[in-house]
Amino acid sequence: MEPVNDDTSWVVTEFVQAELGDIRRTERLIEIATVLAHRPSTSFPEAFAGSRAGLKATYRFFNADAISSQDILDSHVQATLTRIESQPVVLAVQDTSELDFTSHPATEGIGPLSNPNCSGLLVHTTLALTPERVPLGLLAQTAWARKPGEVGKRHTRKQRPIEDKESRKWLSSLEAVIEAAGVCPNTHLISVADREADVYDLFLLPRPPNVDLLIRAVRNRRVDHPEEYLWAKVQAQAVAATIEVDLPRRGKQPARKARLTVRFCPVSLQPPKHRKAEQLSCVNVWAVAAFEQDPPQGVEPIEWLLLTTAFVNTVADALERIGWYTARWGIEVLHKVLKSGCKIEHRQFETADSIQRCLPVFSVIAWRILYATMLSRALPDVPCTALLDPDEWQALYCSIHQIPTPPHQPPTLRQAVRWIACLGGFLGRKSDGEPGVTVLWKGFQRLIDLATMYQIMRPASLKQKKFG
């Protein structure tokens, strides 16, 4: 893949196409995003320290009813589509996360979360990734608050149409993927989601030939086969392969390797019994099962049963589909960065609408950090100018090597990213592997300060060379 590389600022690339009704609003958006990208984890007063006018303009921008969060996000989506159209395969991973604003009870428009004692917003994001896990950007994002009266309606879900349920979010994401497919007709897009997305309506939604689904099953659906049910149908298949996968850290469980047996077969899913009156058609998909046989003691075994509309004719196809599913963790990392790195839940606004306008800005900033992390793994040998501007990589080099003058040639992307991670506390030992998002996040904050000071203190010869 080709890295993102622009001659000005990545912030401009992501937000310059925002149509906010007035060019001055777009310019203000770029100014705000630039400042916040430099100090994403600080409060607004800290980020705009020394600029009272900038701080007031920021609050005024996010409180403006004339500006919608979708208008802000659309510019980034257009930039994302530009990156997608050169890729043969793109995974559109979708997931929901809770934003907890319980500590800000005065905020109007927030609602109950899964914990009835907490309140906030839910955000559903669709992130485009390459199969190598490089995030290309967001394709869609929606945020909403549950109404207090709607809590506890789970028992009525079978009686309500999909339009009246939160599960409509899965279809909305797929619709955004289908729209992207129209702009990128030569790219094969796969909508990837976890068990909550096992919704029959999702499989029924018409799709163009270059869009497929990959959903982890949660229901033991009836199938049009002698085995009668999905799990029995898959378990009846012979083991096709045994693989080892890396599992990320989960809560108190450390990262580990899991050995999985793989089975696959085509299946015909029957519609739910309670929807018999709708006369829905059966859905033909492939099932790929990856089950862990000998998990560590006290650890719940991995049981992935994946349903996909992408053909699975060979073992290689089945292993590729499993690889696509494991890329789903990228969306969880994005939401983690949004909360931990950007401190989105610490933002204090009077209304939920203002939070929703703020959300796409910080989501794009979070994407940029994740992009830096994964790009260096996918394209380690390209020049670091794919990610850093001259002042940044030169300041980084001089700081790491404790010298006043940088070399003429920039280092590789992998080397520069490891140096940035060292600024954030990465030790770089042989056993440490590649740096993660957290140390890179901290390192980027230090790099910004280094680059600012470097611009001030840079040798006059270099300044003359740059500015003529």
Helix (H) or strand (E) holding 105: none
| Residue 386 included in any domain | yes
CATH code for the domain of 455 = 1.10.740.10
φ/ψ of 462, rounded to 5, equals: -70, -35
Identify the three-state secondary structure at position 262. strand
Task: Identify whether 389 is part of a domain.
Answer: yes
The predicted pLDDT at position 361 comes to 97
Distance CA 371, CA 80 (A): 12
As beta bridge partners, residue 120 has: 100, 111
- Using only C-alpha atoms, the chain has a radius of gyration, in whole angstroms, of 24
User: In Å, what is the CA distance from 399 to each residue of 395, 412, 426, 461?
Assistant: 6, 16, 15, 19
In a domain, 286, yes or no: no
Evaluate whether residue 452 is within a structural domain: yes
Burial of 53 (0-12, 13-18, 19+ CB in 10 A): exposed
In-domain check, residue 250: no
- Domain holding 431, by residue range, is 380-467
| Helix or strand (DSSP H, E) at 362 | helix 352-378
Q: Measured at the alpha carbon of residue 98, what is the angle toward residues 92 and 102, in degrees to the nearest 5?
A: 160
For residues 64 and 23, give the distance between their C-alpha atoms in angstroms, rounded to a whole number. 15
pLDDT at position 7: 38
Residue whose C-alpha is closest to residue 305's, from 174, 215, 196, 213: 215
Minimal CA–CA distance to 14: which of 29, 36, 35? 29
**pLDDT tens per residue across all 468 residues of the chain:** 444 444 347 899 999 999 999 999 999 999 999 999 888 888 999 989 888 999 999 999 999 999 999 999 999 999 999 999 999 999 999 999 999 999 998 899 999 999 989 999 999 999 999 999 999 999 999 999 998 866 656 555 555 556 658 889 999 999 999 999 999 999 999 999 999 999 999 999 999 999 999 999 999 999 999 999 999 999 999 999 999 888 777 666 777 888 899 999 999 999 999 888 899 999 999 999 999 988 888 888 889 999 999 999 999 999 999 999 999 989 998 999 899 888 999 998 999 999 999 999 999 999 998 888 888 887 888 888 877 888 888 999 999 999 888 898 999 988 988 898 888 888 877 666 778 777 887 888 788 778 878 877 765 544 444 433
Q: Is residue 458 part of a domain?
A: yes
Assess if residue 444 is contained within a domain.
yes
Which tokens hold the place of 226?
């002698």
Decide if 101 contacts 346 (C-beta within 8 A): no
State the Cα–Cα distance between residues 221 and 277, nearest whole angstrom.
18
Residue 403 in domain: yes
The tally of domains found in the chain comes to: 1
What is the enclosing helix (H) or strand (E) of 333?
Answer: helix 329-336
Exposure pattern of 262-300 as b/e (b: 16+ CB <10 Å)?
A: bbbbebebbbeeeeeeeeeeebebbbbbbbbeeeeeeee
